[in-house]
Amino acid sequence: MFRVNLIGGVPATGKTTIMKEIKKQLQVDSFFEKGILKGYTDKKKDNYIFGVYNNELFEGTDKLSMAVQPKAIEFIKEKKFQSIFIEGDRLFKPSFINEIKKIVDLNIYILQVDNQNIENRHILRGDEQSESWLRAKKTTVDNIKNNHPVHLLINNNKTHIIENIEYIIRNGKSKIKNPLQKSLF
């Protein structure tokens, strides 16, 4: 089965933190580059992560060209993978989601963090995005949340992060007896 796992949320919800841990746990550490599409794969080429992670503040798909969407769709159409994990702004778009749903199974995960934690994370990171830019990101996330089946994941603390990583790796299935996530299916 071919599956794309798309992780989104407003800025500072922990998308990159979760993706780095998924990358480590799945041993997805061989760099690949196919034109402007860049990322990592495991030795068997079963699992892929799109984006560049090199311990900088803004990583993931933010390191890819704004024009990466058609290349990512082309790659997914080849179906030479088991799972792909994607987070970040470049591909967390309704147009990308609509195309991918026509090709393979898609899990959409939206990370949610309370306002105080979001504010603290923006301060710690030294973020300088404008209010209008942040509102635009929230609008995109809300649009996806309201128009597609999604998994909503609370991501306020380390316990949530650990539970969310397990849930995402298991493709929306959990061993946790009382998972914090809600599903809108």
**What is the torsional sign of CA 39, 59, 64, 149?**
positive
Sequence letter at residue 43: K
At residue 180, the pLDDT reads 45
Distance CA 28, CA 40 (A): 6
Cα maximum dimension of the chain: 43
At residue 174, the pLDDT reads 53
At residue 173, the pLDDT reads 66
pLDDT truncated to tens, each residue of the chain (185 aa)?
A: 799 999 999 999 999 999 999 999 999 999 999 999 999 999 999 999 999 998 876 789 989 999 999 999 999 999 999 999 999 889 999 999 999 999 999 999 999 999 999 999 888 888 888 889 999 999 999 999 999 999 999 999 999 999 999 999 998 665 443 344 444 43
At residue 129, the pLDDT reads 85
Distance CA 64, CA 78 (A): 20
Q: What is the pTM of this model?
A: 0.90
Contact 28, 130 (CB under 8 A): no
Distance CA 164, CA 20 (A): 13
Domains and CATH numbers, the chain: 3-183 (3.40.50.300)
At residue 106, the pLDDT reads 97
pLDDT digits (tens, 9 = 90+) for 130-151: 889 999 999 999 999 999 999 9
At residue 138, the pLDDT reads 95
